[in-house]
Chain A
Amino acid sequence: MAMDWCFRRRASAGLLAAVLAGGLGGCATTGNPRDPLEGMNRAVFAFNEGLDKAVIKPAAEAYQTAVPLPGRVGVANFFANVGDLLVGTNNLLQGKPGEAVTDFARVAVNTTVGILGLFDVASELGLERHEEDFGQTLGRWGVPDGPYLVLPFFGSRTLRDTAGLVVDSVYDPVYDVQNVATRNILTGTRIVDARAQLLAAQDVLETAALDRYAYLRDAYLQRRRSLIYDGAPPRIREDDAWREPQAQSLSGLEDPLRAATEPILVGAADVVVPAAEPAAIAAASPEAGSGEAMPVRATVPAAVDHDAPDRQGTH
C-alpha cells in the first residue's frame, strides 16, 4: 500500500517534470500570458486527440450502444458516489462544512439505500450534488492558476490543477483497490463512462470552435474560475471594454483574460485589494506608460505570477 502510494506519487511527479522540461524547451506561442507553453500544449493536445480518436472515443461509443441508459446511469452514479467522498473532503478543506455534510450524507444514503451507489437516491431527496476537487481547494486557498497545461491522457489542467490532480488521485478510492484486475476494470470503466458523457458535447465543440485547442483551453479556464467561485464568479471588467470610451486608451486591457487573474481566493480579495495605490501601480507597471491606472490592474496583486509577461513584449 505504502509502496503503491509512493509509486503513484513518483509517477505523477515524473510526469509533471517531463511536462515542464518539455515546455521549457522553447516553442512558438501566440503570446497568451496564461498559456506560455502553447507550442508544447498543442503537441500534447494533438497526441490526446489522436489517442481519443483511435481508442477512447470508439470505446465510449460502443459502450453507449451496448449498454442501455439505465445501466449507464447506474455506472455513472456508482463512480459519482465514490467521488462524493473526495468532494466532501474538499468542501471541508475549503471551509464549507455545511456542503461537506451534504456530500457525506449523499454517500451514506446512496451507498445503502442506493445499493452501493448505483441509484442516486440522495438527489431525489434534495441532497444536491457538488463538484469539488483539490485544485479548487488550492484556488480557494489563494494559489494562482499558474500556466495552462495539456497533460498527456488527462487533458486540460493548469499547473495548480495538476498539483490538485496528483493529490486527488493519491486519495482516490478506486486506485486503492488491491485486486489489480478489479482496479483496472474499474479505472477503464470510469474513463469510458466519463467519455461517453461527453459524446454529445463533442459535436457541439466541433460546431462551435474556430480553433478547438483555444476553445477548449479558454472554456477550461473559464469553467475552473466559475467552479472555484461555486458558479458565481465576479464579473470581468473587460466585458464592458467594447463600449467604454476610456477603455481603449488603457493598455492594460490588452489581455482580455487578465482580469481573471484577480485574486482567486474569495476571502483574500478583501485582504489583497486595499486600493493598492493606483499611482504606485502605474509607476511600477511598464505598460502603463500613459500614466493612466485602471481599476482592473489595481485589483491584481503583484503575487499573481502569470500577470507578469506582457503580450507586446513576447510578440
Chain B
Amino acid sequence: MKRLISTLILFLGLALSLVSGAAQAVEPDALIRNVTEEVLTILRQDKEIRAGDANRVADLVGAKVLPHFNFGHMTALAVGREWRKATPEQQKQLTDEFRTLLVRTYSNALTSYRNQTVQYKPFRMQPTDTDVTVRTQVVQPGAKPVGIDYSLEKNSEEWKVYDVVVGGVSLVTNYRETFATEIRNGGIEGLLKALKGKNQRGEITPATNAAK
C-alpha cells in the first residue's frame, strides 16, 4: 500500500513537471544541451548502435531529435526564393523528401560517433529574441574541433531548430545551389524527382551506400 502511494506520488510529480514544462518554453541553449546529452548517452550505451545498426540510430533521431526541428522552414531555406512558386502540395512533398535526406545524413553522422565530447559555448539572449544561435563544439582526440551551431526560432512559445551549421557549413543552405540547378533544369517537379531518386537509392546503411 505504501508502495502504491509512493508510486502515485511519483507519477503525480512527473505529470506536474510535464505540465509546468509545457507552460514555460525551454530556453534554446538548454534545449540543445538536453537533446544532445540525451542522444549521446543513448549512443554510448546502446549496444546495437555501437555495433553499427543505422536503423536504430534513425529511430533514436526520430524520437528524440525530429520533434525539435522545423523542416518546413529548413526546406524553404534550402530552396530559396523558388519556394514561393511551389504549390502547397509541392512544398509538402519537398519538405517530406528533404526531411528524409537530412535525417539519413544526420543518423549516418551519428553512427560514426565514437570518442567525441561536446562543449557548449556561452550563450546569451534577450527575452524578446525569437531567432538565436546556440554554439557547440565537438572535440575528439587527434582531430580538429568541429563547431556545430544550431539556429533556432521561436514559434508560439516553442523553440525549433531551422538550421545546423557544421564546421561553418550549413547542412541546409549548402543545398541551395544544387536545388537551384535542379529547378532551372526541371522546375520544382524536377527537384522533387531528384530528391525522390536520391532517397530511394540511398539505403539507411552507410557502408553499402558508399559504393554509389
Contacts and interface: CB of A to CB of B under 8 A. Distances in A.
Nearest to B143: A197
Interface stretch (A105-113, A178-186, A230-238): A230-238
Nearest to A203: B206
Of residues A209, A210, A248, A253, which shows the largest number of chain B Cβ atoms within 10 Å of its Cβ?
Answer: A210
A73 interface: yes
Given A203-B112, A203-B206, A207-B104, A239 B168 contact: no
Given A69-B141, A202-B210, A215 B101 contact: no
A239 to B, nearest CB: 6
B168 A236 contact: no
Given A210-B194, A256-B180, A131 B81 contact: no
A153 B115 CA distance: 30
B182 to A, nearest CB: 7
A242 interface: yes
Interface in B127-182: 141-145, 147, 165, 167-171, 173-178, 180-182
Given A69-B141, A69-B142, A206 B212 contact: yes
Interface string B171-210: 1011111101110100000000011001000100011011
A209 B171 CA distance: 10
B105 interface: yes
A73 B142 contact: yes
Nearest to A30: B181
Contacts of B194: 210
Contacts of A74: 142
Nearest to A131: B144
B80 A241 contact: yes
Nearest to A241: B81
B45 to A, nearest CB: 20
B187 to A, nearest CB: 15
A239 B84 contact: no
B16 to A, nearest CB: 39
B212 A77 contact: no
Interface string A286-315: 000000000000000000000000000000
B212 A222 contact: no
A76 interface: yes
B142 A242 contact: no
A69 B206 contact: no
B109 interface: yes
A179 B11 CA distance: 72
A207 B105 contact: yes
Interface of B: 76-77, 79-81, 83-84, 101, 104-105, 108-109, 111-112, 115, 141-145, 147, 165, 167-171, 173-178, 180-182, 184, 194-195, 198, 202, 206-207, 209-210, 212
13 contacts: A30-B184, A69-B142, A73-B142, A80-B144, A206-B206, A207-B101, A208-B105, A211-B178, A214-B181, A218-B174, A222-B173, A223-B167, A242-B77
Interface of A: 30, 32, 69, 72-77, 80, 129, 131, 197, 200, 202-204, 206-211, 214-215, 217-219, 222-227, 231, 233, 236, 238-239, 241-243, 247-248, 253, 256-257
